[in-house]
Structure 1
Amino acid sequence: MDRVLNGKGRASADQRARAFRNADVPPPLHVLIDKVAMRPTQVTDADFAAAKAAGFSEDQLFELVVSAAVGQSARLYEAGLAALVEATGSDEAR
């Protein structure tokens, strides 16, 4: 996660962090990032075209999409661990 958020890249660390959290992402990029995180099967070429028209390069979009996917994966992982702890009453899973 550290490399996704803080490694070298074309998108700024702030942009990647916002995509990772799926929060405070400016329009029209927020549509693409939210779909990647919450409804990935609904991502369309038009979503990418709108983000590119707003001035984002393909490299930046790649990094932001990866950040969004990794962020959502991390949230799901943490939720799963929390559910396991709650179900078993044990914090050993962490």
Structure 2
Amino acid sequence: MRELRRHGVRTSGIVVGQVHVKSDASSNGDGHWAPVVAFTDMRGQQVEFKPRVTGTGLGLPTGQPVPVVYLPDKPKSACVDTQRQMVASVRFWLTVRVFEA
């Protein structure tokens, strides 16, 4: 995240669709829908990605324009560049580290 904030290229993308993500074994649900975001990188290549953190309250409707940040040499590293998405990503990685310890 820090590297994205410091060295990331900011551009705009658009939510081009939704994919169904199955819940893990610890969840009682059937899963949820996650947005697929597309943008054009500095080289003119179309890149699609699914945000790393998805779920309730983080949905993005199809057709919605969204700010995107990515590393120039790793366009697949892209993230939706909103405070809500970034805070959710940080919380996710902090939780993962706590459970790994």
TM-score by length of 1: 0.32
Q: Which has the larger radius of gyration?
A: 1
Higher percent of residues as helix: 1
TM-score by length of 2: 0.30
Higher percent of residues as strand: 2
